[in-house]
Amino acid sequence: MQAIRSILVVMDPQQAECLALKRAKLIAGVTQSHLHLLICDKKQEHAAHLENIQASLLKEGYSVSSQQAWHENSYQTIITVQQAEGCGLVIKQHFPDNPLKKAILTPDDWKLLRYCPGPVLMVKTDTPWTGGIILAAVDVGNSDAAHRTLHSGIVSHGYDIATLAKGTLHVISAHPSPMLSAADPTFQLKETIEARYREQCKAFQAEFDVSNDRLHVEEGPADVLIPYTAEKLKAVVTVIGTVARTGLSGALIGNTAEVVLDTLESDVLVLKPDEIIAHLEELVAQH
């Protein structure tokens, strides 16, 4: 996170207090990142509003620029500007859709998470980060190269946020339930799965310096366990990663992040592996 030079802050002129800007100021205060403010709107003019905010941020000592833009829809506008400005992080406040609408169409926020070539921080609550618990969600059972790199990114971002918020990092890892149909008999016994998983966790803990009291290993589906653990710990930020299935067919992000985004009562930072980011950058360039 220290390497982030520029943060794209998606502003909503309808909101009196911009929570995305609040988080961006906290991060930029530590990382010295430049803030680029964006209002996505093709109908109304917001130049005066942006100028006022920009002027007060400059007075506070922040490096800041701003613009109003529109490209087809809000998520494409955000991605186009993120690429043009070279922003290493997008921060946006999430406003949940009503359940009926959600069933009918994919909300723009999901599309932003799916297609944005870079980390996205979705701000869901006004709870201050200071002194809070940061929860990093990893899949310790997957130790292939793509997952290892992603785990390293998730945990290091988690530590960065914990440092700047003077908080504590916890890690959640969900593991599969016993499968009676599994070919390998060790996957049929709960105890052996648990033991094998704990063993993998030891190596992970040693590598990333995570003590037993800050590691939560639970059995069951990640989309249920991550929100449950975040709620139990009263986490202020949950960091999750996404690994594509194959290419971009199917949901790039997998359903876990999408279900989790709506059920989490905390802010969510979503990360992607480098090769997916490179692929998405190519797609954006083709438009």
Q: Is 267 exposed, middle or buried (0-12, 13-18, 19+ CB in 10 A)?
A: buried
Predicted TM-score (pTM) above 0.75:
yes
* Average of per-residue pLDDT across 81-109: 80
Average pLDDT over residues 2-11: 91
Between 3-7, 162-166, 242-246, the lowest mean confidence (pLDDT) is in 242-246
Domains and CATH numbers, the chain: 6-93 (3.40.50.620), 133-286 (3.40.50.12370)
Q: How high is the pLDDT of residue 95?
A: 75
Query: Any alpha helices (H) in 60-189, and if so which ranges?
Result: 74-85, 99-104, 108-115, 145-164
Q: Specify burial of residue 200 (Cβ count, 10 A radius: 0-12, 13-18, 19+).
A: middle
pLDDT at 276: 73
Task: Say whether pLDDT at 147 is over 50.
Answer: yes
Residue 204 vs residue 179, higher pLDDT: 204
Give the residue, 166 or 196, on which the prediction is more confident. Answer: 166
Q: What value does the mean pLDDT of the chain take? A: 85
Section 77-92 average pLDDT: 96
According to the model, what pLDDT value does residue 189 have? 65
Looking at residue 201, its pLDDT comes to 86
Q: In what order do the strands lie in the sheet with 133-138?
A: 64-69, 34-40, 6-11, 89-93, 120-123, 267-271, 235-241, 133-138, 168-175, 215-219
Please, which residues have CB within 8 angstroms of residue 195's CB and are 6 or more apart in sequence? Answer: none
pLDDT value for 283: 81
Interval 62-80: pLDDT, tens: 999 999 999 999 999 999 9
Please determine, for residue 248, whether its predicted confidence score (pLDDT) is greater than 50: no
pLDDT class of 224 with cuts at 50, 70, 90: confident
Q: What is the mean pLDDT of residues 117-127?
A: 92
Percentage of the chain lying above the pLDDT 90 cut: 51
Q: pLDDT higher for 182 or 247?
A: 182
pLDDT tens digits for 149-158?
Answer: 888 899 999 9
Q: Does residue 196 have a pLDDT over 60?
A: yes
Give pLDDT, residue 246.
41
Percent composition of the chain: helix, strand, coil (DSSP 3-state, to 5): 45, 20, 30
Instruction: State the CB neighbour count (10 A cutoff) for residue 55.
Output: 10
Q: What confidence score (pLDDT) does residue 135 get?
A: 97
